[in-house]
Amino acid sequence: MSKKNKPQTVTLLGRSRSDRAIRISLMVSVVVFTIKIAAWLHTGANSVLSDAAESFVHMFAVGFSTFGIWFSQKPPDRDHLYGHERIGFFSVGAEGMLILIAALTICYQSVKSLIIGIEVVNLETGAGIVFLSAMINLVLGVFLVRTGKKEKNMVLIGNGKHTLTDVYTSAGVLVTLVLISRTGYLFLDALVAIAIALYISFEGYKLLRYAATGLMDQSDDETDIRIRSVLDREKKGKFLEWHDLRHRSTGNTMWVEFHALFEAGIDLEEAHREATILERKLIDELGGNVIVTIHLEPEKAHIEHHQAYRDSRKD
């Protein structure tokens, strides 16, 4: 048995908010990248170039995320009976990989500049442009993370966190330009660019790890505790015990399945009614889109049935 805890109209409304948010992100990322390229052309600073390179990767990743959100919302079909939500993990993983590529590019350019020499000009103008891009990304990043959490959309959350890392890198670049203008130490440009590259590498690694965790169906400890607490609390009346609990997330949907042991002699209609109540309790506890599958078992015969199933798998 299975059901969802939200009417389809609510789900579709949530999807339109996700679509709007990612499209806004795509448009803004193009604007911010253009602004940072202008800042680099004005200054020639590697630190600004590193910031622009990160924004270019982000722009490309947002495009992939836009496709991912659209594709993940396609309904199940004959070839994808569980839907298409897992594309979200690929979107997050692709974004993480692109961040690592950008970091390597930044390191290469910075080391090269340390060897052949560094030339930086128009620092005040460049600093103003970088500050403007940072403020735009700050507003966008907060908006994306909040929307992603509200809609329980991992692609939006990952995109928002990436946008906020862009703010941090811009802040580092801004401080660097100010220090260079005050001290004249041009080598700070390359050193800060390398530091930014190392920082965004760590962020890229976290996105890759998150994607791998989702694709490998790694269980969430907090979710496991919440499910078990509901099942233990509801062990009363003719619902005696549960076992073989499994659960996983495919992005926006939580799938839960387990075996429920009922008192001997209970008829199918009553057992189904008790299981439906139990299902409702789990959906209310977890929230969001939850699909629960319960295997009903009689009190006395379930051991024999399980043994027969295990023996058949050995043949």
pLDDT, residue 6, reads 40
pLDDT, residue 279, reads 93
Task: Burial-class residue 310 by CB neighbours within 10 Å (0-12, 13-18, 19+).
Answer: exposed
pLDDT, residue 258, reads 95
Asked if residue 310 has pLDDT above 80, the reply is no
> What CATH architecture applies to the domain 8-215?
Up-down Bundle (1.20)
Residue 83 near residue 147, CB atoms below 8 Å: no
Distance in angstroms (rounded) separating the CA atoms of residues 245 and 233: 15
Rounded (10°) CA dihedral 46, 52, 58, 59:
-150
Average pLDDT over residues 79-89: 79
| pLDDT tens-place string over residues 50-82 | 778 777 777 877 887 777 777 777 888 888 877
Q: Hey, do 8-215 and 221-314 end up sharing a CATH topology, with the first three levels equal? A: no
Asked if residue 299 has pLDDT above 80, the reply is no
Average pLDDT over residues 80-108: 79
Beta-strand pair 239-249/289-298: unpaired
Q: Is 309 helix (H, G, I), strand (E, B) or coil?
A: helix
The edge-to-edge listing of strands for the beta sheet with 239-249 is: 239-249, 253-262, 289-298
Write out the CATH class of domain 221-314.
Answer: alpha beta
pLDDT, residue 313, reads 52
Going through the chain in order, the beta strands assigned E by DSSP cover 239-249, 253-262, 289-298
Structural domain boundaries of the chain? Answer: 8-215, 221-314
Average pLDDT over residues 247-259: 86
Biggest CA-to-CA distance, the chain: 87
| pLDDT tens-place string over residues 172-228 | 778 877 888 788 777 777 787 788 788 878 878 888 888 888 888 878 889 999 999
| 174 vs 4: which has the higher pLDDT | 174
